[in-house]
Amino acid sequence: MDEPIKNCWSTIGVWGTEEEKCPRLEEVLHCRNCEVYSNAGRSLLSRAIPEDYQDYWTSLLAKEKIRKSHDSTSVVVFRLGDEWLGLPTITIKEISEIRPVHGIPNSQSLVVKGLVNVRGELKLWVSMGRLLSVDKGGDTGTSALRKSFLERLVIFVKNGEQFVFPVSEVIGTHRIWKENIREVPATAANSIYSHLTGLFELEGRHVGLLDPELLFNSLQRNLV
């Protein structure tokens, strides 16, 4: 059985409230310079672990791990004009710098803007703003330098197909608790809401969680 630690430093030491102080203070000046204080610290660290201590933390960490894997989802959050949106991280292959887009001759699609070279591969550049009826919003008053600094290309992957679209800003990957994702209002009728699977708040922002399946199907319909 562990012996009780003599905590004289909190009674007659520098942290104590008693009028009578330890006579050794004149020699060591401060309790932390005294071997009694040092030995007490070592004794505390060398104490035997309670029998249920390891079981308690094992159980607690296991529950946390289970909660993370089943009750949350990883989302990449980005801004499109004035709208904050998110897509499941698993559907995002890459986020890169803005690159030149090359037009496709005789293309009639309002969504497909051309082809872009990403790591030696040509990929379809699509306008997510056009697809979701989102305009540039507040970006119209943003300086060209700041826009170029914030803008990114997002590579969306679904069913083995890849689409590249530009966004105004990316704030990274975030884990969202499913209990914090609200349903989309049934009365919402505009295009962007018809592509959402839920709504959530992140650091004061109202974010729409895009449904990858709905988004993919809409892109397929607008390829020509």
The token duo for 168 is 């105004």
Bigger pLDDT: 122 vs 144:
122
User: Residue 105 — very low, low, confident or very high, per pLDDT cuts 50/70/90?
Assistant: confident
Domains located in the chain, CATH noted = 8-69 (no CATH), 70-221 (2.40.50.180)
Average pLDDT over residues 187-194: 78
- Least trusted range by pLDDT, from 28-42, 117-131, 162-176: 28-42
The token duo for 50 is 């309670």
pLDDT at 206: 94
Average pLDDT over residues 100-108: 88
- Least trusted range by pLDDT, from 55-64, 162-171, 178-187: 55-64
Bigger pLDDT: 30 vs 212:
212
The token duo for 219 is 């892109």
Q: Are the C-beta atoms of 41 and 9 separated by less than 8 Å?
A: no
Q: Are the C-beta atoms of 13 and 25 separated by less than 8 Å?
A: yes
Bigger pLDDT: 49 vs 215:
215
Instruction: Tell me how far apart the alpha carbons of residues 189 and 80 are, in angstroms, rounded to a whole number.
Output: 19
Q: What is the pTM of this model?
A: 0.65
Average pLDDT over residues 207-216: 96
Mean pLDDT of the chain: 84
Q: Give the up-direction half-sphere exposure of residue 172: CA atoms within 13 A in the CB hemisphere.
A: 4
Identify the CA nearest to 165 among candidates 95, 221, 222, 109. Answer: 95
pLDDT at 33: 85
Cβ within 8 Å of residue 123, ≥6 positions away:
115, 116, 117, 155, 162, 163, 164
